[in-house]
Amino acid sequence: MVKLQLLDLAHRSLIKKYFSRFPPEISEHTFTNLFAWRRSRPIYFSLIADSLLLFINTDDTRYNQKILFGKPVGKLSTSSAIDILRDDIVGAVRLSVDAVADLSTTNYTIHSDRDNADYVYRIEDLSLLSGRHYAKKRNQITKCLKQYHCEYEPVTTALVPQCIAMQQRWCASRSCTTEPALCNEYVSILSMFENFKELDLIGGAIRVDGVIQAFAIAEQLSPGVAVCHFEKALPGIQGLGQLINKWFALRGLKDFTFINREQDLGVPGLRQAKKSYHPHHLVEKYTLSVDSVFASHACKVKGD
- Cα separation, 19 vs 99, in Å, equals 16
Instruction: Provide the pLDDT for residue 64.
Output: 76
- Cα separation, 252 vs 30, in Å, equals 19
Instruction: Provide the pLDDT for residue 104.
Output: 67
For the chain, domain boundaries = 5-117+284-297, 118-282
Instruction: Provide the pLDDT for residue 304.
Output: 55
Q: Tell me the H-state helices in 62-207.
A: 78-85, 97-100, 123-128, 135-147, 160-174, 180-194
Give 10-residue mean pLDDT values along the chain (304 residues).
92 97 97 97 96 91 82 95 90 94 76 97 98 97 97 98 97 91 96 95 97 98 98 96 98 97 96 97 94 44 47
Statement: 5-117+284-297 belongs to CATH 2.60.40.1180: no
- Cα separation, 196 vs 200, in Å, equals 7
Instruction: Provide the pLDDT for residue 37.
Output: 97
Element at 225 (helix H, strand E): strand 225-233
pTM, full prediction = 0.92
CATH class of 118-282: alpha beta
Q: Tell me the H-state helices in the chain.
A: 12-21, 31-36, 78-85, 97-100, 123-128, 135-147, 160-174, 180-194, 240-247, 268-275, 292-297
CA 176 from centroid of its chain's CA atoms: 19
Instruction: Provide the pLDDT for residue 61.
Output: 59
Q: Give the strand order in the sheet containing 118-122.
A: 150-154, 202-208, 211-222, 225-233, 258-260, 118-122, 281-283
Phi, psi of 270 (to 5 degrees): -70, -40
